A and B are shown apart, each in its own frame.
Chain A
Amino acid sequence: MFILKFLLRRLFQGAIIVFIVSALIFTLLRVVPGDPVRLMAGGMAPEALIEQIAEEMGLRDPIPVQFTRYMAGVVQGDFGQSFVRPKNGASVGGSSFDDSTRGERAQVLDLIADTAPMTIQLALLSMVFALIIAIPIGVGGGLAPNRWPDRLALYLSSVFVSLPNFWLGIVLALLLSVKLQLLPAIGYKGFAYMILPALVLAIEMAPFIIRTLTVSVAAVMSENFIDIARIRGLSRNRIVFHHGMKNAAVPLLNLLGVQFSMLLGGVLVVEFIFDYPGLGLLTINAVMQRDFPLIQGIAIITAAAFVVINIVVDLAATTIDPRLDY
């Protein structure tokens, strides 16, 4: 019963969040300067044709009318067609007013479905790298409060958080790809192509995980039940990994949920630098081309993913610690 209530309540709240995000994005895109039809039709297209296309596409209707029509499509799984991308998915520009391929524009959902798995792969690998970097440092810091491992964790976190990701990406590409020839730097043709961008994202994420772990492990290790475990004669490893880590995992889990959600929408710079064909690169190109349906689609899907991931994280947290009530 708890599960059903929980899911219904959270899904309803999530739907409201997604709706608000959709309305905001939809409205903002339409009030910013710049007419997407002029970009679609080409700068040399006559005014009359631009107006004709705009009216045919309903882009001159009042925003609430446009939004209602759009959302009616979305709830039926129709996110519309890209304004500029053809079916083959190429990033295109400079289309001209009698471009006959306009009728064969890519479906927004197809474009997202093609690129989202790439970003999910990248996000997962980034999290694995981030955990590999952060767990030893964070746990070490938490087990030795106010001693050198704690200070090391603090200093490393400060260093990592200060590195701009575009700078780090370029430096790592220069070092690992250009100088040492160990890894490819751009595009995607397999696992190796994910390592550099994942490393950059991992270093970006690691400070938050380190700090969370340091604080939560330190807090847990000062609890009474840890002292009791010691009195019971349990080994230090057993105390740390079976009792300490399990209890410290809840804040970490929440953090990872948030970080993963943010990664889905926040890989823009890294994907651009590494020309990684994921959701981030798709978003950047969509923004640069004023591809409204694509921007809206990405925003809605990302918001929905954020909501779902948070529900799953909360559910997982209550499974670890049944005392929690979300």
Chain B
Amino acid sequence: MINRRRLLTYSAAAGVLAAAPRLNPDFLFSPAMAQTTSPIVFLSAENITGNWDCTAHTTLSQSTIQGFVMGYLARAPMTQENPGELVMELATEINEISATQLEIKLRNDITFHDGKPFTSEDVKATFEYGSQPDRPAQTYPGATDTFDVTTPDDYTVIVDTSKGGYGASLFIFLAAYLPIMSAKDIAEGPGGVLTQRLNGTGPFKFVEQRGNDTVMEAFPDYFKGAPTVSGVTFSFVGDATTRMLSLMGGQADIIERLEPEQVETLQGEADIKLNTSVSVENKYLWFRCSKPPFDNPLVRKAACHAIDRELIMEVMGVAGHASSNFVSPIKFGYIDLDNYPEYDAEECQRLLAEAGYPNGQGLPDLEYITSSGFYPKTKEYGEVITAMLQEQGFPVKLSVMEVAAWNERLYDRPGGGPGHMVDCGWSTGSPEPDLVLRTHFHSSSKRICGIDDAEIDAALDAERNATSLDARQESLQTNLMPLLADKVPALSLFTSVMIHGMRANLDGLFIYPDGLTDASKATMG
């Protein structure tokens, strides 16, 4: 006969038995502070995609992981003094042998982490695979059928763009963007091994994805010499305060995307040092150009003249860098544009009247979409922008959304996409300005603003088709960039400053302006 007491006893016993296999075996006996200090612990603000194909995403955190594991033909330090500088890595030379031909000479002492020797076939396969139109990170100047890649020998690559009718120089800066994958992996296609793990030639070898931790270990056969640290653990930790406390408590060695207030806090810590650099990312106020009222360039320009960017810089503090162009100052071709729209209330009113909306009368209700918790200070400067626009008669409402909701509304879609203005940054790890300009302002792409403008298309095509880097720079600075400043499909608000916090004993790290981190010479004293 079962009674209440027995039922409870038996139920409890059954529960314990059922739960036992599930319980963490480390429970109760793992030591505190179990993490060793030998691998670098990197806490990221952004999660990854889970698909390791380097061409399957444009996610910054995953690109950072790729920077540890993968090799590049060249790396671009991207300084303001010399935006076009390239430091050879897998390549020894990249030469324009004609307007439409590029010769790339490769190192001959390199192996992939799976033991396969690196040859020109890997570069050819990577270029051809990465330029397929269905690749989300497809960034090359034209689709595969617009260029030929030949491999005269195992360590020479010739890129010929004569079929596409554009200059081969476009491939130069892209060399610092696409990680070189193994031809053997690529042969399996997008559903193959490429998606399951990274296989590169970099200083660290991909080991596994353990929950939110990407585990990498030092690659002893790295061609520049085995790294000193035993590895890198790259983890997604969503909360900025948690990341900071982890760094201060010694659980993390390096954290990214510090807020300006956190910079102030950490500046007073003896065990912590900061690394700041002007980044590859500009922050934009994107106009939905395919629907009223921002399908009218006069209204867009009026809105730009309503915004005092100096006030935004005050809000951003150390996290922002003033710039007057659509690309970061560390990108090839950057100049401060003379005709970049500045705050000018009278000009704003004149343009509004010319567009048929005197003092903003007749404008529809406008929605300005921004996110909270992804970029620093978006809500704060969003409120400032909203107030400034309202002051000039724009009936704007600010919608601050959590990241998923904002991301769901971000991109252009038939009919123009939600809202009328969207806040978003864009960054690509190469000095190549086309990765931003063509991606967003050519009618074949127009990711967020949805602009379809024949004049802009022609200017973009003209600079793409220039036959040398010098000619491209000329075309960018005297034609395309001023034209964009005149039509403003988006207003670039400022260039982001990338701020990392790290333990003071972590030395020898080099952080590129796109977040890629060279830890091959890092030491932790």
Q: Which residues A94-120 have CB closer than 8 A to chain B?
A: 94-101, 113, 116-118, 120
Known contacts A189-B35, A312-B11; A100 and B190 CB within 8 A of each other: yes
Of the candidates A85, A96, A170, A187, the one whose C-beta lies within 8 Å of that of B251 is: A187
A190 and B30 within 8 A (CB): yes
Contact of A95 among B50, B250, B251, B409 (CB under 8 A): B50
In this assembly, does B28 line the interface, its C-beta being within 8 Å of a C-beta of chain A? yes
Chain A residues whose C-beta falls within 8 Å of the C-beta of B239 in the assembled complex: 272-273, 275
A43/B404 in contact, CB under 8 A = no
Contact A190–B246 (Cβ < 8 Å): no
Query: Interface code A30-50, partner B: CB below 8 Å = 1, 0 otherwise?
Result: 000111001100111001000
User: Using Cβ atoms and an 8 Å threshold, which residues of chain A touch B135?
Assistant: 98
Contact B408–A91 (Cβ < 8 Å):
no
Bound: A136/B322 CA distance, A: 60
Contact A93 B411, beta carbon cutoff 8 Å: no
A229 on the interface (CB 8 Å rule)?
A: no
B447, CB-defined interface residue at 8 Å: yes
Interface pair B251/A3, CB less than 8 Å apart: no
Question: Chain B: interface secondary structure?
Answer: loop
Q: Is B117 an interface residue (CB 8 A)?
A: no
CB <8 Å contact, A98 and B47: no
Judged by a CB distance under 8 angstroms, whether A121 is at the interface is yes
Chain A residues whose CB sits within 8 angstroms of the CB of B405 once the complex forms: 33-34
CA distance A274 to B251 in the complex (A): 12
Q: CA A194 – CA B463 in complex, angstroms?
A: 58
Contact indicator per residue, chain B 205-242, by CB within 8 Å of chain A (1) or not (0): 00011111000000000000000000000011111011
- A90 CB–B CB distance under 8 Å: yes
A186 interface residue per 8 A CB criterion: yes
A284's closest neighbor in chain B, by CB? B238
Q: Chain A residues near B59: list those with CB within 8 A.
A: 93-94
Q: In chain B between 1 and 21, which residues have their CB closer than 8 angstroms to a CB of chain A?
A: 2-5, 7-8, 11, 19
Task: Select which of B22, B211, B410 is within 8 A of A277 by beta carbon.
Answer: B211
Q: Is the CB of B31 within 8 A of A117?
A: no
| Contact across chains for B50 and A86 when beta carbons are under 8 A apart | yes
Question: In the complex, which residues of chain B have a beta carbon less than 8 angstroms from the beta carbon of A191?
Answer: 26-30, 32
* Cα A34 to Cα B195 with chains together (Å): 28
List chain A residues, Cβ under 8 A from B50.
Answer: 85-86, 88, 90, 92, 95, 99, 101
Separation of A43 and B238 alpha carbons in the complex (Å):
21
The CA of A97 and the CA of B58, in the complex, are separated in Å by 12
Interface contact A186-B136, CB-CB below 8 Å = no
Structural contact, A181 and B238, CB atoms closer than 8 A: no
The yes or no answer to A89 lying at the interface (CB within 8 A) is yes
The residue among B8, B22, B58, B212 with the most chain A CB atoms within 10 A of its own CB is B212
- Docked-complex contact B212 and A121, CB < 8 angstroms: no
* Complex Cα–Cα for A95 and B2 (A): 54
Known: A100-B51, A312-B11, A315-B8. 15 other contacts (CB 8 A): A3-B4, A92-B50, A93-B47, A94-B58, A116-B22, A178-B248, A182-B32, A184-B33, A186-B246, A187-B235, A190-B32, A191-B29, A192-B30, A193-B30, A290-B408
Q: Which of A49-106 contact B (CB under 8 A)?
A: 85-86, 88-101
